Structure 1
């Protein structure tokens, strides 16, 4: 079994990860890092409500996953619904590349979550108990480190076909960070007050009539 262990970078002072952000056990739930207008940082497994107008820079891929899975054959789509596969990877991780190649060669529809930031590493530790990569989940089953034989055994047990059954038009969703960042916009600035209109100039006094005639 091969794996790569991540190390923490220097964390900003006061950054705390909420224990509830990964309360659901194992499969591909997106984690959101939400920055409020006051600069307060919170973590959640739910995206910010639409009413908050929060800007999500790396949002959940649920819609992309649903669109990709809709084209799958019925039996494969059924297995994916029961035992979704999620691969957690990092940069410069050779075993991660081997893990990705195994899933792709077998035609396994899977989601990929990248682990690179401090927030990602903390989330991975909450989820798996350590920071080793690659990390795979098949439904509720967690597999730490890459092992061709072990992964194959669990994929077989879940009911995934041994050879690819993906349709020619299938496109896997792109990899996304494990922790998505959502920033709420600052309050809108009030428009600058318009300068008061200048008062119309008073008419110049009429020149006196030398003849003394008044109108």
Structure 2
């Protein structure tokens, strides 16, 4: 598995040279075929693995060696939505502790489908630290996950470091390439009325 990831990363590096932070997706189709791509799969795919990809100009290049190694081994991804106090608290915790992370916003049905594919449920924020996942903001649980992944207790980030800007959990490119023959399947609760400004069916 590691050899496959390594081979694919090498093949994608030329495509990523202009992009300091990208995502690699792996999924198995109905025909059993394994697909690797830097573009998210159709929403009809129910299970997908994500792996952060970095080129030589990655935002980790100016991090202390141990922190950069931790980021590569256990990347942190934060799923948020607008007007979500728990999302604000989670973001503040990560920033205060100096955790490099990728933020993905959930504001559309495609975003919801992508969140569910990576193991999220109807509660935001949703945090992933390597393979570990946590729905909802709980400071103690988040700190435990981060410490278990070898992230430092206090910030070691250079003063000039900036996290990548937030991006949609399901980029528009994925929505544009989806075919009508493979619509996203609704799951129980998808049609629940939104609370405040949350996507339909979500809670904070």
Structure 1 length-normalised TM = 0.57
| Alpha-carbon distance in 2 for matches of 1:111, 1:175 | 7
Q: CA RMSD in A?
A: 3.2
Q: What residue is the counterpart of 2:124 in the other structure?
A: 133
Change in 2 beyond 3 A, CA 1:42/1:133:
closer
Q: What residue is the counterpart of 2:113 in the other structure?
A: 122
CA displacement at 1:67 relative to structure 2 = 2.1
Q: What residue is the counterpart of 2:144 in the other structure?
A: 153
Q: What residue is the counterpart of 1:76 in the other structure?
A: 67
| Alpha-carbon distance in 1 for matches of 2:27, 2:110 | 16
2:78 is aligned with 1:87: yes
2:92 is aligned with 1:101: yes
Structure 2 length-normalised TM = 0.60
Show the 5 A alignment for 1:1-215. Answer: 23=27, 32=40, 62=53, 67-182=58-173, 183=176
Change in 2 beyond 3 A, CA 1:92/1:112:
same
Q: What residue is the counterpart of 2:189 in the other structure?
A: none
Structure 1's unaligned 5+ residue stretches are 1-20, 35-40, 47-59, 185-215
CA displacement at 1:125 relative to structure 2 = 1.9
Query: What secondary structure sits across from 1:133 in the alignment?
Result: coil
CA contact (8 A) 1:89 1:96 kept: yes
Query: What secondary structure sits across from 1:104 in the alignment?
Result: helix
| Alpha-carbon distance in 1 for matches of 2:154, 2:114 | 33
CA displacement at 1:64 relative to structure 2 = 8.3
Change in 2 beyond 3 A, CA 1:180/1:138:
same
Give the count of matched residue pairs: 141
Bigger shift: residues 155-164 or 117-126: 117-126
Query: What secondary structure sits across from 2:155 in the alignment?
Result: coil
CA contact (8 A) 2:78 2:126 kept: yes
CA displacement at 1:126 relative to structure 2 = 2.4
Greater C-alpha radius of gyration: 1
